A and B are shown apart, each in its own frame.
Chain A
Amino acid sequence: MKPYIMSLTEASDAIQGGELTPKRLAESLLKRIRETEPMIHAWVTIDTEKVMEDAANATETSPMSRLHGIPIGIKDIYYTAGMRTTMGSSIYWDYVPEIDADIVKKIKEQGATVLGKTETTEFATHDPAPTRNPWNTNHTPGGSSSGSAAAVASGMCSAAFGSQTGGSVIRPSSYCGIVGVKPTYDLLSRGGVYPVSWSLDHVGYMTRIVEDAYHILCALTNTDKVWKKREKPPKIGVLRGYFMENAKPDVWEGYEKTITDLWGKGADMIDAILPSSFKNVPDVHRVIMAAETAAVHEEVFREKKPQYGEYIQGLISSGLLIPATVYLRAQRQRAKIIEDMIHLIKEYDCVVCPSTVDTAPEGLEWTGSPAFNAPWSLTGLPSVTVPMGLAENKLPIGLQLIGTPYNEWSLLSVAGWCEEKLGFDTSPKDPYVPES
């Protein structure tokens, strides 16, 4: 098997077993990047020499963890010492941080290699990156973690980090047919990650299989757990209501089929009724995000407004107009929504809904709606997406699983059970470039 095809778990097993060296793995991924990147545009910066130097060092040392010798993509809003970090903005085009973000520091300590910096929408909001979806290059991969999702899906790396304030990890993962994880708020440090909206921002990551996601979470949290396939069918709360009203027909059809399939495989699929406070999610999320984004950018924005993209200009400008009392009122409503959602979810192993409203939109101007992810960013509850199939247009659709706070391991074990039963092929996707 060509090393770039391997999942993180397979590559790690092969490195620890002496059948693969970090050097050979890095060479294989860099070759894959050379072949694939011209069609996908997933990367802002790759320092090939440094990658090979790190891989050579990892080859000379004994494996110390699951991440030893594994090259990983990092969204370009994470600070990387000595490596350009642009935030997807012309304002920071030449910015080279002196420090690593906490997550970057952590993966380096575990022996992983920073493969490069992946494309992000401007300041991780909505003004798009140039990245294309490997399933159809005429379509967006989603955002804001556009490059990370496209790179993992197309086999340029087996894992990459992103971040989510609305839907920026789960949505691109779903659009690209891979696994995405947004852990509980503050489980993973946001230190050294450029903020969008501090009380909504989450560090998250993408892989091609759930087991990889489990190992990464263990590595990042210094947890000594062993991945075991779940045998017992889970008890799953099925969300409809708001999701049914807003999903496009092909997504909803795929979701209902998945619910039936999982039920047929033994899962207990029970209707879970959303609390009445849930209807306030879009407004509460909007107020908090606009106010906090405005606060983050206020000073630079006054000086360099013309250098900001159209969407973020609007977000910041309107955020500056929000009364403080309304921002605080939104935070109080948020507390109520969190309480109600935890009360609902704790009755099940997890609840599910579609990962996105639609499949990846055509064109690169719009990275898609975060409407099905923002509730879990607002509540800080852990969410995972696994691919559940293809829509009629041959683009992936995802199943989103949501758990109670700090129950990521249990959530991932249910996600692994669903992944196995749904049987979606997540091996690296050769980019499909339609004839013009």
Chain B
Amino acid sequence: MEELNEYIEAMYETAVNLWGREEADKMRKHIESTASAVYRVGKLELDTSIEPATRLRHREQP
């Protein structure tokens, strides 16, 4: 939990550096929600059998 909060804070500070505190404060809710998702996705275990590509493979490959 503490690590997550630190991550959110780090992302918020990046936003402050980019757009200023007033703008970052306005977007705080979005930053928190996205930062939480980023943090959790970053922690997910990867299946090494899945290639790091961005294609969807619904069709059978020839």
Contact = CB atoms under 8 A, between A and B. Distances in A.
Interface of A: 184-186, 199, 280, 282-284, 286-287, 290, 310, 313-315, 317-323, 325-326, 328-333, 335-336, 338, 380, 405-406
A368 to B, nearest CB: 17
B30 A317 contact: yes
Interface string B37-62: 11011101011001111101111000
Give the interface SS of chain A, mostly helix, strand, loop or mixed: helix
Nearest to A317: B27
A328 B33 CA distance: 19
A313 B30 CA distance: 9
Contact of A282 (B19, B27, B37, B44): B37
B14 interface: yes
A332 B56 contact: no
Given A313-B27, A321-B11, A287 B37 contact: yes
A319 B11 CA distance: 11
User: Which residue, A286, A319, A325, A332, has most C-beta atoms of chain B within 10 A?
Assistant: A332
A271 B59 CA distance: 27
A290 B30 CA distance: 10
B44 A286 contact: no
Nearest to B53: A331
Given A184-B58, A332-B52, A287 B38 contact: yes
28 contacts: A184-B58, A280-B44, A284-B41, A286-B33, A290-B34, A310-B26, A315-B30, A317-B19, A317-B31, A318-B15, A318-B27, A318-B30, A318-B33, A320-B18, A321-B15, A321-B35, A322-B34, A322-B38, A326-B38, A329-B46, A330-B41, A331-B53, A332-B52, A333-B41, A333-B46, A336-B47, A405-B59, A406-B58
